[in-house]
A and B are shown apart, each in its own frame.
Chain A
Amino acid sequence: MSALAAAASTGEAVQFWVLGTIAVIGALCTILMKKAVHSALCLAGTMIVLAVFYLANGAYFLGVVQVVVYTGAIMMLFLFVVMLVGVTAADSLKETLKGQRWLAVLCGLGFGILLISGIRHAQLNHFNGLGRVNAGGQVEGLAELIFTKYVFAFEITGALLITAAVGAMVLTHRERTERAATQRELAERRVREGVQLPPLPAPGVYARHNAVDVPGLLPDGTPAELSVSRTLRARGQVRDVSGQALEDLKALEQASAERLGRDNSREEASK
């Protein structure tokens, strides 16, 4: 296989330039997309490209792991958290810190130029290729290294993983410190406070909108905020369709008036 050779073949070159472009575009999209979910998807694309590059470089095991662990597990974890936080919430890309963006671009450019010039300066032209090492099977080779030379690092990273799992649980777990109030207690409290005695109003039900994020309308046509879940209100994900409803009404009235007017004029004409 060509990847085993020291120098890359033309096929690999084509693959590099095509996929490399995709990877860079994916990375740029990751940092430029307004919605976190888009960023996550772009990043997943870049990671898959990278997995292909691992394979092209003869790291078959890592290529597979990249797909399974990174793209499959970690990115899905990201998506999960994105969903938890709010999938529709779009970030403003307007910079709030003064000079931050310029500094970031400047530092990024300087850093990149320096890094690339460093690599260029290193003149890495001689590639040994993995043909000899992979001869006895790559997974076997990796296993041999992991369980001999890097056994301590392996153990320590294992401990790290366990610690991280426990840590995540500790961070996210919330202990309920009091008994949950029963229906009866909640009702009694509501009566005692006297703020909202009857049940909260239901969300709006419209011809074209029928979801919990759409508030119902009060008799005067204003949206009833209470009819939408508190969480959605806090996230600012309330879809206010009252304006549209009123406009629809107006359009309806206008249409009927036109119709009536036309009828009136026709009657006058007939007279």
Chain B
Amino acid sequence: MENLIALLVAAPLLGAAVLLCGGRRLDKTGHWLGTLLAAVSFGIGAVLFADMLGKGAEDRALHQKLFSWIPVEGFQADVAFQLDQLSMTFVLLISGVGTLIHLYSVGYMEHDERRRRFFGYLNLFLAAMLLLVLADNYLLLYVGWEGVGLASYLLIGFWQHKPSAATAAKKAFLVNRVGDMGLSIAIMLMFTTFGTFAFGPVLSSVGETSEGTLTAIGLMLLLAACGKSAQVPLQSWLGDAMEGPTPVSALIHAATMVTAGVYLIVRSGAIFNASPDAQLVVAIVGAVTLLFGAIVGCAKDDIKKALAGSTMSQIGYMVLAAGLGPIGYAFAIMHLVTHGFFKAGLFLGAGSVMHAMNDEVDMRKYGGLRRYMPVTFATFGLGYLAIIGFPGLSGFWSKDKIIEAAFAKGGTEGWILGGVALLGAAITAFYMTRVMLMTFFGEKRWQPAPDADTAPSAEPAAEHRAGELPHPHESPKTMTIPMIVLAFGSVFAGGLFSLNESFVKWLEPVTSFEHGHPPIGAAAVTGATVVALIAGVGIAYAMYGRRPVPVVAPRGSVLTRAARRDLLQDDFNHVVLVRGGEHLTRSLVYVDHSLVDGVVNGTAASVGGLSGRLRKLQNGYARSYAVSMFGGTAVLIAATLLMRGV
């Protein structure tokens, strides 16, 4: 069985290789090949899952050592895979949702002439992501981690002819590099501390290591997670990453890639458990991001950016849960999976809407679409109910557990974290209701399609008829089927997982689990969550359901304007990092020129000048040399006499 693990990675990798190297002759069939190989990966994952279910809880982890990668004395790196319950969850999520999104892309990218390449990149992404979650050591994980970064760069910048897309890709890559730096430092620290970076030895020898070292490793891992999972302070790339095609947003920026950080934290749980400080920082980062993303999501008129804000916020929930320790790990992963379903569904729905509306992304120009796109409306609506945590749907089960766990953290921290999570739930309900109302309800606010010259189209192959009103229509089957499947997941996954705590028990051998007991009782927390939900929905309805939505955005309050600018994250980065960096480099250049170069050049010049004079001493005449020798002897005698105290 364990020999199949490598195939999980190999199938999409093969797809990427074939599609990217295969050339034009694959243009006609390439997308189906890519989808097929993603499905193969999912199929193998399903087989392994069935096999795993047949075993006892403790025997489920599988190992496969492919080959010895860097066999150096004292530095052993293997290409080896580890498939345990945690990896299995991710494998199924990644390959499952990935396959659905491949299928969706077949329809969505139908008119794009570079579709084959797009599927190559998607396959590359799947391979890298699977490598990331299947690696049995941090170094191989790092390979997958970088591969994911590369694939996301390629996919975000897929429409590279648009300067905004190229810039967004670069931004995502650069911000991710900061996080990658953290991961590489963490790996180096691990190697110097433990002498290895395989998960097993590292995580089992945590107890023998000082807490300071573990805190350092934990914080570096957190930095890495912040980069990949778009957590404060490295969150700025996610919103711009919506420049990529919508399936990319669904796949990378909702369901899979951004969850890599959560995976890393949960996988390294032992390290964080042993370092309460690092763990608390993780929880704080999660809580801050949760609110940050939610506030940004409230103000955005771009449907994808609103969803991106929501992604950030939901990942914040996961990171918060992961920062709670054993009482939260399982729920973090559970929320990750349910979120994978409903957020992918929401993004695909958004893509479907955009597809219907001539690639218009401004929700203020939507309205009343429910009658024109019933399937999209239904699936999007179910995803919406799931994400706001409507009782009974997926999001409810996972989010409620996280809020409970946050309260159960205990002490002041517990109250603050729990309160933030609760507030986040209310804001989530608000902005998602806003998205829902602005898109599908109210009167039509459709605008004529912009002139192709004045506004470069987001998706060039899409049919544009400048000056005409859009004709919304339901999307083709390849697009609606994945949405329907994901909607099923959005509705039932949470309940299924919570049935008899099956998901928690499933993950327990890997992440360990403790029951959290919120000080006010689980039922009270659930009640509060529902109240927050109703409040959020109510306010949103009052603001957007009962009053007409203006086509041109009103000026809004200071907070709104700030949130429209992503809470000034880019301004902050620009002022603090770019300007600061510029000033720093400028002063460093100055120091380099005047001081370093000055010293070096001055030394060189003075040595040159001195030797120019000294070379005159070397005139080739033995007698001249004899004089210096003789003089030197005289000096030596003088020194000897002086030393004796003449």
Contact = CB atoms under 8 A, between A and B. Distances in A.
A100 interface: yes
Interface stretch (A44-52, A102-110, A162-170, A202-210): A102-110
B76 interface: no
A197 interface: no
The majority secondary structure among interface residues of chain B is helix
A100 B637 contact: no
Contacts of B644: 121
Contacts of A103: 627, 631
A97 interface: yes
Nearest to B633: A111
Interface in A64-108: 97, 100, 103-104, 107-108
A117 B644 CA distance: 13
A118 B637 contact: yes
A100 B624 contact: yes
B637 A104 contact: no
A100 B640 CA distance: 26
A115 B635 CA distance: 11
Interface in A123-173: none
A109 to B, nearest CB: 9
A117 B621 contact: no
Given A97-B621, A121-B646, A115 B637 contact: yes
Q: How large is the interface on B (under 10, 10 to 19, 20 to 34, 35 or more residues)?
A: 10 to 19
Interface centre among B623, B627, B644, by most chain A C-beta atoms within 10 angstroms, is B627
B627 A104 contact: yes
A118 B645 CA distance: 11
A117 B633 contact: no
Contact of B641 (A97, A108, A114): A114
Contact of A107 (B619, B621, B630): B630
Contact of B634 (A97, A100, A107): A107
Contacts of A110: 631, 634, 638
A251 to B, nearest CB: 48
A107 B633 CA distance: 9
Contacts of B623: 97, 100
B624 A121 contact: no
B637 A114 contact: yes
A110 to B, nearest CB: 5
Given A103-B631, A107-B630, A107-B631, A114 B638 contact: yes
Nearest to B631: A107
Contacts of B624: 97, 100
A37 B633 CA distance: 30
Nearest to A102: B627
B634 A114 contact: yes
Contact of A118 (B621, B630, B631, B641): B641
A136 B619 CA distance: 56
Nearest to B645: A121
Interface centre among A100, A103, A107, by most chain B C-beta atoms within 10 angstroms, is A107
Given A97-B624, A121-B641, 7 more contacts: A108-B630, A110-B634, A110-B638, A111-B634, A111-B637, A114-B637, A117-B641
7 contacts: A100-B624, A111-B637, A115-B637, A118-B637, A118-B640, A118-B641, A121-B644
